[in-house]
Amino acid sequence: MSNSDSTVIGVIFLIRHGDRQGFYQNPTNYNPANTVITPLGLREEFITGEYLRNVYLNASSPSFIQGINSTIADPNQITVVADAAGEGGVIMNSAEALLQGFFPPNANYSTTLANGTIVEAPLGGYQVSFESALAENDVSLEGWTSCAPFDKATSEFYQSAEFNQTAQDNADFFTNLPQYLDGRSDANLENMWNIFDYMNVNYIHNATFRSKLPPTLLPQARNLAAFHEYGVFTSPQLDGIGNIGFRTMLPGIFQGLSSITNSSDPLKIYYNAIAYKSFFTLFRMTGAVDQSPQLTGLVNYAASVSIEVRQPSSGGEPVLRLQFKNGTEEDAQTTFNWFNTSGDIPVSTFTNYLAPVAINSTADWCTVCSNTQDRGCGAIAAAASQAAIADQVHQPISPVGAGFLGAGLALFVALCMLGTLFFIGVLSLGQRKGRTRHNQRSSTQSSDVRA
């Protein structure tokens, strides 16, 4: 389907952060160290925001989003969620920079006070359209953290025949590396992400390092890092634990699609600001890598996926189109096929295929990751335990127990009724012949009731 056959009614954005300082991750569980965004990274995000604005907020563009306010950011039309966990403030800062390119300052962003004073937002009408940053306990954008089955799968990948063969095939590369790694001794395939990140950061920011590095080493390091990360952050089975990074994102994406395709809902853009990992998972789970193997590579800084929601001119169900731009190095987005077909796919194809493997709540994540302590699982486990105790206290009685209980209650009620009748004189045990005899009868009656 061409641009002329459909109109864009909304977009799902997944965008990687910009350039940053070095970022160490434990290769066994991916626990991260903190890092900081650079001015270059902010610039990359801003440029990406400008590009996306020209594509989707320019009324003369064939991909202009119908019905969107393209000058003043309407918080009802855009949802922005940024990962604020693994890489600290880098992703949140990236989202803020991108949004300034996407919705630049506008002098019309102002308000009139009750006394008639017109107040314009600072910096020429600076617009803050950033909505939320997800904390460490939120699992939706970093499903792999504190997930024991994921760690186990990572370890198994390191022990696989494919991994060991790749390490052997590149033995000379690893032997030659330490002289360029400031003497570090962990130059091996298991630590490949950290090796590449060290080399890449220094190649960008350290002139001495850049001048000494042979031209073939960094591309080789990047390819090996991509092999490493693709093996960790994907699974061949759709519900595999390696795919957890995108499986936890799916509920938010589904909600975004539902809102965009609902004509009574104002939402037009759902934007996830993320790290590189879930790009691997997205491309594999949707089958995009099967038709475009280059998508198994490590995405660049500020890489952007745009899932366009389009309404066909002929009517009917809205369709989705996958667009990808690999950072600021590329001039424009490229359309990729997915789901083992060519061209756009119905929204229902996307949701029906992926919904069964979505991880829809923290409780579901706790179960999948066998976690009873971290990321909110402790509270969930405690609540479940309390519920189980309450359930035990209020267990339904067995049929035999119910029979005994019913018989006992019936006897108790009957005795109470008899006692009441005796008390009010409706029933008696004999004639009353004088006071002494009455007292004896009363004594006998009391004895009978207690029996």
**CATH classification at residue 111:** 3.40.50.1240
Question: In this structure, is residue 187 part of a structural domain?
Answer: no
CA nearest to 67, candidates 239, 268, 341: 268
Residue 311: count of CB within 10 angstroms of its CB: 18
Report the range of poorest mean pLDDT among 19-28, 38-47, 417-426: 417-426
More confident residue, 435 or 314: 314
Q: Is the pLDDT of residue 403 over 70?
A: no
Q: Cβ distance 179 to 213 under 8 Å? A: no
pLDDT of residue 324: 99
Q: Residue 379: inside a domain, yes or no?
A: no
Q: Which amino acid is at 360?
A: N
Note whether 98 and 242 are same-domain residues: yes
- Choosing from 345, 360, 375, the residue where a domain stops is 360
Q: Look at residue 418 and tell me whether its pLDDT is greater than 80.
A: no
Q: Give the per-residue pLDDT at 131.
A: 59
The larger pLDDT score, comparing residue 404 to residue 282, is at: 282
At 142, give phi and psi (nearest 5°).
Answer: -145, 65
* Structure confidence at residue 451 (pLDDT): 34
User: What confidence score (pLDDT) does residue 34 get?
Assistant: 85
Q: What's the mean pLDDT when you consider all of the chain? A: 88
Within a domain: 227: no
Instruction: Give the per-residue pLDDT at 433.
Output: 36
Average pLDDT (193-211) is 97
Question: Are residues 423 and 298 both part of a single domain?
Answer: no
The reported pLDDT for the residue numbered 390 is 60
Q: Mind listing the pLDDT tens digit for each residue in 100-138? A: 999 999 999 999 999 999 999 999 999 876 656 666 678
pLDDT band at 428 (very low <50, low <70, confident <90, very high): very low
| Percentage above 90 pLDDT, the chain | 76
Same domain, 319 and 436: no
Q: Are residues 421 and 342 in the same domain?
A: no
* Tens-place pLDDT, residues 213-230: 999 999 999 999 999 999
**With bands split at pLDDT 50, 70 and 90, how would you rate the model's confidence at 183?**
confident
Which of 269-278, 378-387, 417-426 has the highest mean predicted lDDT (pLDDT)? 269-278
CA 112 vs. chain centroid, Å, equals: 39
pLDDT beyond 80 at 450: no
Q: What is the pLDDT of residue 105?
A: 94
Would the pLDDT of 402 be above 60? no
Residue 387: its pLDDT value, please? Answer: 66
Query: Residue 45 domain-assigned?
Result: yes
In this structure, the answer to whether residues 342 and 249 fall within a common structural domain is: yes
State how many domains the chain has: 2
Residue 322 has pLDDT above 80, yes or no: yes
pLDDT higher than threshold 50 for residue 314: yes
The answer to whether residue 330 is domain-embedded is yes
> Which pLDDT does position 425 carry in this prediction?
45
Tell whether 436 and 314 lie within a shared domain: no
Q: Which domain holds residue 439?
A: 409-450
* 431 shares its domain with 319: no
Is 111 part of any domain? Answer: yes
Domain assignment of residue 244, yes or no: yes
Same-domain pairing of 352 and 418: no
Q: What is the largest CA-CA distance in the chain?
A: 128
Assign 91 a pLDDT band (cuts: 50, 70, 90).
Answer: very high
Same domain for 343 and 426, yes or no, is: no
Per-residue pLDDT at 78 exceeds 60: yes
311/425 same-domain check: no
Q: Which of 350, 325, 351, 356 is nearest to 338 (CA)?
A: 350
Residues 26 and 138 in one domain: yes
21 belongs to a structural domain? yes
Average pLDDT over every residue of 230-239? 98
The per-residue pLDDT for range 11-39, each reduced to its tens digit, is 999 999 999 999 999 999 999 988 999 99
Does residue 417 carry a pLDDT above 80? no
- Tell which phi-psi region holds residue 339, choosing left (phi > 0), alpha (psi between -120 and 50) or beta: left
Asked if residue 428 and residue 349 are part of one domain, the reply reads no
